Amino acid sequence: MKLQQAGKLGLNYAVITFFVIFTAFPFYWMLIATFKSSSDLYKPANNPFIFNQPPTMENLNLLFNQTDYRLFVFNSLFVGLMVVLITLVLAVPAAYSLARLAGRWGEQLGIVMFMVYLIPPTLLFIPMSRVVAILGLRDSVWSLVLVYPTFTVPFCTWLLMGFMKSIPPDVEEQAMVDGYSRFGAIIRVMFPLALPGILTIIVFAFTLTMHEFIYALAFITATSQKVISTGVTTELIRGDVFFWQSIMAAGLLVAVPVALVYNLFLDKFIAGFTLGAVKG
């Protein structure tokens, strides 16, 4: 019996180890490539997973001193934070209204909003380009701040609506019996209980804006207004010359903080998605 338990435990650890290596390998490869010299990286006889020649800082020097990478990061953070703020302001009240106040029509309206998210961006960027041009926002990060909520708000509303449905209405009713208004019950009772779902939509909206490419490419051509997704590719791919090491460095510097945020809120993130999916 003990041998059988030891075998199961060993199998579990083997599977976990495999997935850890599988998920960590891209970060390892980006880290190695960041400090590889070109002669080391492009020589077929060299082992690509270790340093065959001494590491170099030239790739980071190219990224930070010969491109506008810092500006791209700032623009991406600005757009991400603005989109998260707009998404919260619109999605949280909408989700609560659909979950609590819309009656039997709430679920149908939530499904209709979710279907908006399913429309491919490639079908929308042309009419969106017309809207952006009319508003005079071309070559401006404000065009992305305007457009991104059109697909973060519907999905986040649907997801948060499902999560709020999982919270018993009794807790709000008890708070109102104790003297709170509905608004007070929402602020003091509903929102704290819905925090995992709110954190889920924050992480989703922010990471989506960080890796979105089509709208950023269609609406912005000025270097000073570019975000990471388009700025890195246009600055570090020059004709048929690819600066792979600097591209890997740019990706690593963005991917690591995002991965840390995901792991920091992993439990709440999973709870928000699973409850929203089951109850929605």
Residue 146 lies in a domain: yes
| 173 in any annotated domain | yes
Same domain, 85 and 121: yes
Q: Tell me how far apart the alpha carbons of residues 34 and 58 are, in angstroms, rounded to a whole number.
A: 9
Question: What SS3 class is residue 242?
Answer: strand
Report which DSSP code applies to 119.
Answer: S
Contacts of residue 81, Cβ cutoff 8 Å, sequence gap at least 6:
206
Statement to judge: residues 140 and 231 lie in one domain:
yes
pLDDT in tens, the chain (280 residues): 566 777 778 888 888 899 888 988 888 988 998 999 888 888 888 888 888 888 889 999 989 988 899 999 999 999 999 999 999 999 988 888 887 776 666 667 767 776 776 777 777 778 888 888 898 888 899 999 999 998 888 888 888 887 787 777 777 777 787 777 777 877 787 888 888 788 888 888 888 888 888 888 888 888 889 999 888 888 888 877 788 889 999 988 888 887 777 777 666 666 655 554 444 4
Burial of 64 (0-12, 13-18, 19+ CB in 10 A): middle
Task: Assess whether 25 and 155 both reside in one domain.
Answer: no
Calpha distance 269→263 (Å, rounded): 9
Place of tokens 């279907």: 115
- Please indicate, yes or no, whether residues 85 and 184 belong to a single structural domain of this protein: yes
pTM: 0.81
